Structure formats: C-alpha cells, structure tokens
Structure 1
C-alpha cells in the first residue's frame, strides 16, 4: 500500500495507479481513502468502466448513496453482470427493495440463464418475506428453458438453503422429467431424503452413487451417518477428508463423531481452553451506547436473511468494518488489538490442526463483518463458519437480566450440534454475554445462542482470515 500510494502521488496523472491505490485501500477496509482514490482515477479516466464500478462499490461499502454511481458504470459497460448486481444492491441499500427485485426481474426475463441474477433475486425476495415464492425468477426461467441444468442446479441449492426439503424433492422430480437423469439430481435427492429422516431412501441412493470427489456431497453423507446413529462410519469417512484444502467443511463433523465416540482426538481438536478467548474490551471504546445507536441505524431490513443463522432478528448488509462511522472505526481498532493478543496466546503450531496449522497473520485481516439485532425469543441456530479461521461475538447492547429470563437465556453455547442432526450433545462451554465483551473461537467450532424472553440483543460478529503462506 505505501509503495503504490507513493507512486500514485509522485506520478500524479496515472489513473491506473490511483485505481490500484483505491483497490488496496478497499482491501484494508479503508473505504474513505478508497473513495478518494477512485474519484481521482475517475477524473483522470472518466470512460473506464472498471474504475467507475470500483468507485460505486467503495461508496456502497461506506453506506453512501451509490445507485447513480452504478448507473454511470452501467452506461460504460451495459452488459457487465457485476455492475447490474451492484445496481440491485444499491437500490436495496437505498431502501427500495421492491425496485431492486423488479429491476432484476426485468433483466432475467431478457436473460433467463443469468444465474447470479437469479441468486440475488431469490435472496431479496426472501428478505421481502416471500417464503413461498422466493424462487419465482428461476421457476419462470425454467418454463422458457426447461432443459437448462444450471437453472435446476440453482433452484435446488436455494431450496436446500431454505431447508425446504419437500420442495427439493419436487424440483428434482421435475428436473429429471425435463432435463433427464443427472448425478446432481441423485446426490441432492439423497441429501433431502436424509434431512427428512427417510433413512432407507437415503441409504439406497448414497450406496448407488458411491464415493465421489465432492466435499459438499461428502458432508451430506456424514450428516446422514451421524443422524442415523452410525457414528464410527461417520468418523471414518470424515477423517479421510480432513486433509483437503476445503476441510473446514468436514472438521466440525469429525469433531462431533469423535466426541460421541469418546475419542481423545476431540480434546485435541476443540478441548484446549486457549482456543476460546473472552476479552472485555468495552473500556477501549468511547461509548457503548453511541456504538449501539450507530448499529441500530444500520438494521434496515425487517426479515432474516436466507442463508444465515439468525432467527427472530436481522443482520446488516455489506462489510461492517468497511464503514466510516467513528464508532465502527473505534470498534474495529479495539478488535484488531484484542484479536492480536488472542492469537499470541494460542497453542503452538500444529500442522494437522485446522486452526493451529494455518499461518498466523502478521496483520489482522477480516473475511467478513456484520451486526445482528435480535428481539424476543431471538437466537442464532447452531452453525459453523467454514470460510473463516477465527470467529466471534461482540456484545454492544443486551436485554436486562429480568428481560432475558432464567439463566442461561441469551448465552453463547459452544459445541452444540445443529438441531437437525438429532444428536443429544450438551454445550462444551456456556459463555455469559456482557456489554463490551468479545468472544473469539475457532470458525469450525459449533456455536449458537440460547433464546431470551424479551428485549434487544445487539451484537457485532466477524471472521478473521488466516495469514498468508509466506507469513507462516
């Protein structure tokens, strides 16, 4: 960053250098500087669609009105799908969810095979509360091109995300009739049957397919084995897949199987107390009340998102730590310091361990950051963050003790498997929330929250990215 910024200032009139400076600022969550650099690049080269697109994205990240900037980028590159998606995101951020959906629908009528557009349209419809019709654009497209396997693929995966397993089976039946037999249909029929508890059907289809080189399919098979009580088989299968680059998807299930079997490897995976950090950092912030007020203003949606763990609440859009509000910048700085301290006390490097085997970052980078606001009976269903390295919960505002109900209402529960697995395992650790408290834990560790009676629970969460290989 310093080298590119210095070069941009020294040369002065090179739009590419200012563009690269802006991209680096954005990667470091410094979007005020990113917007300024993009504006400089755009003045030097006003006809460059990528510069215009970057300027719009940085403004959207900051929470500034960005629809006009995306419209300008679209005039420079009318068929750029990423820009078209950006327009929908900007309209949504402006509070025009209906307009965002309508704009995508108009494009999807013209381009029924545009899968990213269908994906976003489904997520926006879900946010609008349309649980029955959230896949409407895909269903309409399949009437026009019923043999398009990509459309069937997208429809089935979205229904799986929604845990609409009966609808998954219906879509598979229709897909086979229209597009013919496909391994994808078979694999997801097995998954849906397993999630519905139809053990015999799932067994038959999983056996017919055999083992294939696909991590999500293997996770579905392990889930089925766990749910049907074949713990040793689940452990053996999961273990074989823990050496792959995408093993974060399978580690949580290996941990459950080992714990159920009394295998000491569970203790190696999750039992060391140093893996979980509890840090009270409220004193490092100017005002928790001001932070809470700032966060409340960012919760513009009224429904939970399709693919998140929130139940009875809302989650903010975009990258929270990319915003410029002073309360959020102060929180980010305090969190960077706390995360650095937590990493410093972790157990020694262990190449076989999903957390301890990853390179430790010299500079803290975040792979996602957001806020969650829960109301009465709100909670997080138990889940994992396979794209993260360290995950978190920071408590900005909480219901009173009276509002929460009997302990441990509202507490963070670690080690409880997803309820759909049907496994009777208690928490390995219960952590009491307190305003200003930050909890850190491995991203592969199951975590959720216990519902509380009433009041408001306002939190910030983020995933820390591991270090780069050369940092190790």
Structure 2
C-alpha cells in the first residue's frame, strides 16, 4: 500500500468544506473545492474518494469511477472506496464489475455487516440466490437478529424454493417490534407458498392495517381473496387505505390497476374518476378511467377520452391499444386498425396491439392477417420427449401429475385476474421450483422449443419472427387444473413473446371426444376477446392430447372449449422471451 502523504492545514480545511458540501448534496460546489487540490498534485486516497462522491452527486459517473479507482490504487485496504465503487457500478448497470468490487470489499472488511449485505443484495439482483445465502448468513452472524440480513436470507431461501426454511427466518423477525413492512409482507408470501392461504391473507391484512401504502401486500391480498372464496372483500383494503392516504398517487394507481385487473368495474370507475381529478395529466389513470367507462356501458365516452391521448403530440401506446379495443367493439375496424398500428409502432414488443391489428385486418378481409398470424405456420405442436432417466413419456407424466396435484391441493377458486374459469392455478413461477421432476420438465421443454424455433423462417419485418434468436428464457410458468365445466376465456399474453399449453392429464371424455365439432377441452385459436362483441369462428382448433406441447405467438387469441367430466384437465403453460444468440 502506498503511504498516504500528509495534508497541510489548508488542504485539510478545504477537504472538510468539500465534505460538508457533499453532505448537503452540493456536488458541483464540492468539485470546485477539491479540483484545485488535484491540480496541485495532492496525491491522497481520501481526496480522490471525496472527489468521486462529489462527481457522483453531480451526475459525472465516469469521472467518479476514474477517481475511485485512483483512490483504491493508492490505498487498496481502505473499505470506503470499494463500497463506493460497488454502489457506483450498480448505478451504471455494470453489474459484473460491481460484483468484483463487492467481493473485494468483504475481503478488505470481513467484519463489515454492510459489506456482506451489499454483496447479498447484488447477488440476488443477479439471480444467484444460492450464492447470496452465505452472504446474508455472515451478516446475521455479525449482527444477530438484523432485520435486513434476515429479510435477505429469507428471500434467498424462497428463491431457492425452500419456503419452510424461509418462513422459519421471517417467523422470528415478525414477532419483534419495528420489523419492516416489507419483511412482514414476505412472511405473508411464504405462508401462501406453503398453501396456508387464510394465514397469508391474515398477514397481509395485518400489514396494511398499519401500513396501507404497502402496495405489494395490498395487491397480493386483493388477488388472493377471490381464490379462497372471499371475492366480495377483495378491494376492502384499498377502500380503507384511500380514505387514510387520499394524496398518495402510487396508492391510487395501484387501486385502479387492481380493480381493473379483477374486472371490478364499479370500483374502477369510481376510483379512476376521483384519481384523474386529484392527479390530472396521469395517462395511466386517464386510460383506466376510459376503460371503466367503456366496460360500464359507455364506449363512446371511453373513446372521447382515449383518442386525444392516442393521437396527441405525445401519443400514449396504452391509450392507442385501448382505443383500438373500443373501435373494434363499436364496429369501426378501419379506425381500430389505425390505433393498433400506432400502438405497435410505439410499443412493438407489447402484444395487445398486434392482437387487435390482426382482428381489424380480419374484419377488413386484409390478407396481412394471415401474414401476421398464420395458424398453420406460426402454431407448432410437439410431443414431449422423455427426460433423461425416464424409460418413456408415460412414466415421467405419472410423476409430474403427482407433483402438480400437490401444488393445486388447497386452492378453491380460479384467480379473477387470469383466463381460467372453474379451476385453480399454481402460485409463483413454476419452473423456479427445486423439484427434480419440474426441473426435468423445464430442461426438456427448453431444448425442444429451441429445436422448433430453429425451423422457423427469418423475417425482419414480422413482429414474432424478427425477434427469434433461437434461444429463450422462461418469463412466467404455471399449471392450471380445470374442473368440470372448466375453460379458458379467449385471451392473449401481453408480456410474452412465445406462449404455450402442455397437456399433463386429461379427462377420458376429452381424450375420446370426436375430432369434429366443438371438441371438449380443445385449444381454440382466432376467436377474439368476448368483450369485443365479435362473432368470429376459430382459425384453428387444436385437440388436446396428453404429452402434447402447443406453441404460438403470445399475441394470438386463444381459449378453450368447456368440458363435462368428474376428472380434471391439467396443463402446464409458460411465456418465453427471446434471449441473445449464444455462441
């Protein structure tokens, strides 16, 4: 380590003044104090470190990085510059180099609890919960009972599909005074993961009773209550919270978004009307209010609000999408096409605009509909290959059925904000489960999907084909178990690129159904959302078959035919996104 040269009294005085300016958030003023020291060739780690903090405040991140590296070169054993460098690199989204800095920091400062917490937080951000776990455990050893370390450890365990262990951690934290609402909410999530849904609901209620602005607890509770047969209470937490915090814009947006997602149109209409008065100029609230008007029976009022937002000087993609919806619903496919094209230009990777464009082109007898979504070329079907270690598909599916049945056990009702009716849906991201059968399914599907993607043509002008890199990552995954009379309403997947249905088990009445007519349990493509009021026949009907995987663009309208049986229809579904091509 290079020894620190002594600073003169004048230099120390200037440094203290600069430190005070940094504390006050006056980065440029601090720079002006420190720069003469650097120009005078004052070589000292603390000077470079403080100059970096001033540059960071002033938004000069590249200069801050250079100065921190200089400080570290002068005194590599000092923890402060390593900590500052790690934080700066995270702000700059250079996470790989930030991880190097965070690991170096815990070497330099092995007893620094904040160093271990920062390392754990970054590892979680990078998706490495397994490596984050020991970092949080070390932080807990240094400060037993620390809330932040305990929360991080519980989160790392949850992400490793170890909810029982995670619940034991949060269980000790939530009994103590001062526990953060974030940790109390995580405790509720873990109760839900373990299918203790009533306990989870009680935990969320306890959180919002004291912290009504805790949006994660509010939103999760509202979506959970309908699944345990208490849908009439779904929005009660928001009602109390809005009375308690009438000036909280984020709370109003969350309440409106949740009411809209749950299709509680009277509440959505009332809340959005109040919200747009309180917060004029918020495009999300304006569009949500327009939608509520439309779904309350006044589509013309909806269009009167939407079209200026969709076509104004700062056009809004969400407004354009919903304007297309209501133009289709009111029988004006030409105007719907204009709005849908605008939406796809503004947000080319959002799927709803493409779905509405396909519908408008179909109503206009435009051949581009078949270019956009060809039910023969763009819908793929595969039969699952037995994963390694299994003699055949049937033996694997038998194990998979048993695992999935356990995940569906205690749920009583379908989620109100999803497409399934008369059934249940698993919680969370299915393919993150650390169950060997689920992992085998995920790996096999991943490989077979990428093999199928390699057979598709390239078309840089096509919204689906242009994004095909040949490689995917699973964004969401879940299982649906439909009961007697169960079905999926026609819908799309707004946040996906490639969507799916994989048949795990079927009722005998579905397996033996004739191939003609309305095939019970079949997957139907091309019938738009019922709220559009359009009477269009399917473009393709895909019969269900155990072991079959169906793949299609996420903007393709799809739903299922109801079936009558005492036996369930169980599927796995996912949304995938393209990832950069791998060498």
**SS state of the match for residue 271, structure 1?**
coil
CA distance in 2, matches of 1:384, 1:186: 23
Map residues 6-405 of structure 1 onto 2, 5 A cutoff: 19=120, 23=124, 26=127, 34-35=129-130, 37-46=131-140, 47=143, 52-61=150-159, 62=161, 64-65=163-164, 66-71=166-171, 82-173=182-273, 179=278, 186-206=286-306, 211=311, 213-245=315-347, 246-271=349-374, 273-281=376-384, 283-284=386-387, 285=393, 286-299=395-408, 300-348=410-458, 350-362=459-471, 364-401=472-509
Larger mean Cα displacement after TM superposition, 284-293 or 458-467: 284-293
Instruction: Note the C-alpha offset of 1:149.
Output: 3.6
Structure 1 residue ranges without an equivalent (≥5): 28-33
Q: CA RMSD in A?
A: 3.4
Q: How many Å separate the matches in 1 of 2:334 and 2:512?
A: 39
Distance across 1 between alignment mates of 2:120 and 2:254 = 34
Please say which of residues 143-152 and 119-128 is displaced more in the overlay. Answer: 143-152
Task: Tell me if the contact between 2:147 and 2:173 (Cα under 8 Å) persists in the aligned partners.
Answer: yes
The secondary structure found in structure 2 opposite 1:445 is: coil
CA shift at 1:44, angstroms?
3.1
8 Å CA contact 1:313, 1:373 repeated in 2: yes
Q: Deviations over 1:174-203 (max 9, x none)?
A: 5578x4866666533321222244234334
Tell me whether 1:415 sits opposite 2:415 in the alignment: no
Aligned-residue offset at 1:404: 7.6
CA distance in 2, matches of 1:18, 1:124: 33
CA distance in 2, matches of 1:248, 1:420: 18
Task: Tell me the TM-score normalised to structure 2 length.
Answer: 0.70
> How many equivalent pairs are there?
458
User: Is 1:453 the equivalent of 2:564?
Assistant: yes
C-alpha distance in 1 between matches for 2:451 and 2:488 = 27
Residues 17 and 131 (structure 1), Cα distance of their counterparts in 2 relative to 1, 3 Å cut: closer
Instruction: State the Cα deviation string for residues 213-235 of structure 1 (Å, max 9, x = none).
Output: 33222222111000001001100
- 8 Å contact kept, 2:476–2:574: yes
User: Which position in structure 2 is the counterpart of 1:31?
Assistant: none
Normalising by structure 1, we get a TM-score of: 0.86
String of CA shifts for 1:71-126, please: whole Å, max 9, x gaps: 46779996655433321110122333233222222222322223232212211222
Q: Does the 8 A contact of 2:510 with 2:544 survive in 1?
A: no
SS in 2 for 1:247: coil
In the alignment, which residue of structure 1 is the partner of 2:34? Answer: none
Q: Distance in 1 between matches of 2:461 and 2:442?
A: 31
Question: Residues 112, 415 of structure 1: CA spacing in aligned structure 2 closer, same or farther, 3 A cutoff?
Answer: same
Displacement of 1:23 in angstroms is: 4.1
Cα displacement string for residues 305-347 of structure 1 (whole angstroms, at most 9, x for unaligned residues): 1321111101001121111222212211210121111111111
Distance 2:122 2:268 in 1: 46
Find the residue that maps to 1:373 and give its secondary structure. Answer: strand
Q: Within 1, Cα distance between the matches of 2:484 and 2:213?
A: 41
Whole-angstrom CA distance in 2 between matches of 1:371 and 1:287: 16
Give SS of 2:423's match.
strand
- Structure 1 or 2, whichever has the larger Rg, is 2
Q: How far off its partner does 1:351 sit?
A: 2.7
CA contact (8 A) 1:405 1:453 kept: no
Note if contact 1:315-1:373 (Cα within 8 Å) is conserved in structure 2: yes
**Match of 2:220, SS?**
helix
| Contact 1:274/1:345 (<8 A) preserved | no
* Contact 1:223/1:421, CA 8 A, preserved across alignment: yes
Quote the offset at 1:450 in angstroms: 0.9
Classify 1:180/1:395 alpha carbon distance in 2 versus 1 (closer, same or farther; 3 Å). closer
| CA deviation vs aligned residue, 1:18-53 (integer Å, no higher than 9, x gap) | 8489648956xxxxxx44x34433343325766644
